[in-house]
Structure 1
Amino acid sequence: MPPSLNIIGAGHVGRALGRLFAASGAFEVRGVLATSFVSASEAVDFIGAGTPAAGMADLGPADVWMLAVPDDQIAAVCEAVAASHALVGAVVFHCSGAKSSAELSGAASAGALAASIHPIRSFADPARVAQDFAGTWCGIEGAPGALALLEPALLAIGARLAPVDAAAKTVYHAAAVFASNYLVTVLDTALRAYVAAGIPEADARELARPLAMETLENVFRLGPEAALSGPVARGDMATVARQQVAVAGWDAGAGKLYAALADATVQLAARRNSKKIDKPA
């Protein structure tokens, strides 16, 4: 028999991973606890396995406990599990990208092995995630004994594993914010600047699209140092200074963003030069 699994938190992440673990045979899904019995029942239907629980006391023992709850609830839910169930030798893991396995100290104190498993993708459509999860990267960290059990289960559902330094977990999560959220913010500023220069918004998107797409492709194909182009890469700081004044005059917030990005880009250009990468024409 595969290890048994209790799931606490039956939102998009809990449902998708629950279905994947059950379908692969990596775990035997047992109890499923959500914000309501109705939600737990719907999650069990989606997962295709398990039994809905009305409360913490309704959950039976399990080899593995998955806490797929919001970040600010992880510690409290963990304490509740430790207070109501025997956890000696069990594995308890959460799915947060921002918090480390140290958030599960309540379970560790009760004799459990704690870990954090963070699938690096959007779970807006859990059915779609469950359908095409193969190849998804998962940031993992925690007790060696916990990872020894969890890693084969993750490989069974097609995950790719990325070990993370638990002490740098917040920086790890910030990397995703830079690569996704802040990228949107930078592109929004670029589009607004085009519009400020008299270009219609729809046309601005078409102007920015090939430039942004080719740049992203170059970053992932060549690396950021080789992909860097523009005035900073050429050492044309006079142009940078003129742009800084113009952007700040147009929009004070965009001016601050430009200045911060210019400073960071100067450092990137220095790395480029130290590697003796040819400067762009």
Structure 2
Amino acid sequence: MRTLAIVGAGHVGRTLGRLWQAAGVFDIAGVLARSPASAQRGVDFIGAGVPVAQPADLPAADIYLLAVTDDQIVPACAALAATRPLQGAIVFHCSGALASGTLEAARQGGALLASVHPVRSFADPAAVVAAFAGTFCGTEGDAAALAVLVPALEAIGARPVAIDPAAKTVYHAAAVFASNYLVTVLDAALRAYQAAGIPADVARELAQPLAQESLSNVFRMGAAEALSGPIARGDYATVQRQQAAVSAWDADTGTLYGALVPPTAALAARKHR
């Protein structure tokens, strides 16, 4: 069994470590964190490994997972490469925004590089462990590294998807559109309902079936076919009145409304082809 050392005792590293350890895929050699207490919590959650707080104390392993924040990936990789030979080892991170090329210090040490980005929230690691099966993971990197990591992901129920490292930032932006900005647009809808005199709790009840049916239609039929409303009907007089009214109520929300008109019109044009 290959050994895995984890740099970072946050939610992602702890979750993957526990899944791989429980499935007998990797033997967890150690967990490195900024403090002994944090490292110990990571080891306790995973159920294996030696807790350490200094890079030089991390046990040698066949594979190294850098489960740190994006801004810490490069310095963590440099620290790792400075403390040990990496010839033939696999070094990978879990960033959705950065490509595996950010691990250049490990490559200079002879390591194979990769990136594995699980597409889900890790707010509750225990819940993710219990329901990880079916999780998509964007993967890219050296073929020899992926030849090890892809089967390891499949062994814990993940669904690896190859992505283009040159388009990694756009790939991550897709998740922002699908999650973060969706929440922003729904917030605008809820505030607009309240501006029309509808109580907040009732506004949520009004918006929920519209939002859920729209989402269901997008994933069932595709975005163009799911589009409805005034732009889909070509009723731009209504669109102009709405934008003016929204801008008069709240200038920033009016700007958001206006910014969404051109891409929605382009989507409507695709619908009518």
Q: Same fold (TM over 0.5)?
A: yes
**In the alignment, structure 1 residue 137 sits paired with structure 2 residue 136:** yes
Which shows bigger deviation, 33-42 or 218-227? Answer: 33-42
2:187 maps to 188
Q: What is the match of residue 24 of structure 1?
A: 23
Residues 1:76 and 2:66 are matched in the alignment? no
Instruction: Name the structure 2 match of 1:102.
Output: 101
Matches within 5 A, 1:35-74: 35-74=34-73
User: Which string of whole-angstrom CA distances, capped at 9 and with x for unpartnered residues, describes residues 140-181 of structure 1?
Assistant: 111111100100100011000111110111111111111111
Number of equivalences: 273
Alpha-carbon distance between aligned partners in 2 of 1:141 and 1:273, rounded to the nearest angstrom = 37
Q: CA deviation at 1:119?
A: 0.6
Q: Aligned equivalents of 1:267 and 1:39: distance in 2? A: 50
| 1:33 alignment partner in structure 2 | 32
The aligned residue for residue 279 of structure 1 is none
Q: 2: CA distance between counterparts of 1:89 and 1:61?
A: 12
Q: Which residue of 2 aligns with 1:111?
A: 110
Contact 2:194 2:203 (C-alpha < 8 Å) held by counterparts:
yes
> Hey, what's the Cα distance between the residues in 2 that align with 1:150 and 1:200?
50
Match of 2:211 in 1: 212
Equivalent residue number for residue 87 of structure 2: 88
Q: Deviations over 1:121-155 (max 9, x none)?
A: 11111111111111111111111111001001000
Alignment of 1:98-247 (within 5 A): 98-247=97-246
Identity of aligned residues (%): 64
TM-score (ref. length: structure 1): 0.95
The code of the aligned residue for 2:158 comes to A
Q: Distance in 1 between matches of 2:174 and 2:164?
A: 13
| Structure 1: tracts of 5 or more residues without a match | 275-281
User: Is the contact made by 2:34 and 2:54 (CA closer than 8 Å) also made in structure 1?
Assistant: no
Structure 2: 5+ residue stretches without partners: none
Shift of 1:208: 0.6
- TM-score, normalised via structure 2 length: 0.98
Q: Distance in 1 between matches of 2:31 and 2:195?
A: 52
Q: SS of the counterpart of 1:21? A: helix
Aligned partner of 2:221: which letter?
A: L
SS at match of 1:255: helix
The one-character-per-residue Cα deviations of 1:65-89 (angstroms, maximum 9, x if unpaired) are: 0000010000000011111111111
Superposed displacement of residue 54, structure 1: 2.9
CA distance in 2, matches of 1:23, 1:35: 25
SS at match of 1:4: strand
Runs of 4+ in 1 over 6 A off after TM superposition: none
Contact 2:92 2:116 in 1 (8 A): yes
* Residues 4-37 of structure 1: CA deviation (Å, up to 9, x unaligned): 1000001111111100010111111101101111
RMSD after superposition: 0.8
Report the CA distance between 1:60 and its aligned residue: 2.4
Write the distance in 2 (CA, Å) between the matches of 1:253 and 1:99: 31
Whichever residue aligns with residue 25 of structure 1, its letter is: G
- CA drift at 1:38: 1.4
SS at match of 1:134: coil
- TM-superposed CA distance for 1:254, in Å, is 0.6
Alpha-carbon distance between aligned partners in 1 of 2:202 and 2:45, rounded to the nearest angstrom: 43
